[in-house]
Structure 1
């Protein structure tokens, strides 16, 4: 599942059931008590019963010549694809 697709599906479902949608970047979360307190870059403070942390993933190559030569031939850097190895 791709993150943007999942985010769109969750947003659409929340809107469908009447949730108020707010766009902000969360700078910090206080998990010490419930409900959790989230502070946005805007300075606004929100409370939440649940928080989803989605940091994403990206390939991290070492820069070795052999990585380029063998990329696609048994050498990869896909965390979600290769995690079970």
Structure 2
């Protein structure tokens, strides 16, 4: 059985969606947006929030213009460095 390869992304990708799940607190979404702006300075500031069923966690969803794998890797690493982030998709 052949190993399945993940789909390749063609860069630039204008509608690259990132979901960041973390502890729901007052500054969480702002800290996520700060990291996003660092790596995608042309981000329009739009985001959506989704609360967990018990309200302990929140997902911040943003769409950026992805310019390459290096940008996405650095963005992912910086987001994971936030102590309140539980998952980055």
TM-score, normalising length: structure 2: 0.25
TM-score, normalising length: structure 1: 0.25
Relative to its length, the structure with more strand (as a share) is 2
Greater Rg by CA: 1
Higher relative contact order (CA closer than 8 Å, sequence separation 6+): 2
